[in-house]
Amino acid sequence: MNATVHTIASTVTSATLVRNAPAARKVCFEVPVTQALSFRAHEPSVLRVTQGRVWVTRDSDARQASEDLVLGEGASLRLARGERVVFESWSAGQPAASWFSWEPVGR
């Protein structure tokens, strides 16, 4: 797969400005087919796969080694502040986009 890496920081930053409103706590994003997305948590967060399946690579840091995970629909991944992940849609058979939500925790 020839994947292109896109950083969604500007999208997430925009979402961060709105998330303080009670009705806007969760933001959903599409992971297009054949593209990889990079995400850095600016605060403790949860990524939850809302549709499809994604392959996630967590960056290594002083506390943990790099890690590859496959998350199916409904699965979630808790991220520490500053943690970076790269992910892409991963489907068996027919290529399909996936969707995930991002939600801050501890508020």
Residues 69-93 pLDDT 10s: 999 999 999 999 899 999 899 877 7
Give yes or no for a contact between 83 and 59, defined as CB atoms under 8 angstroms apart. yes
With contact defined as beta carbons under 8 Å apart, do 53 and 90 qualify?
yes
From 10, 90, 32, select the one nearest 57 (Cα to Cα): 90
Tokens of 40: 């850095």
CA distance 71 to 98: 11
Could you say which residues of the chain have pLDDT below 50? 1-24
Amino acid identity for residue 61 in this structure: D
pLDDT of residue 86: 92
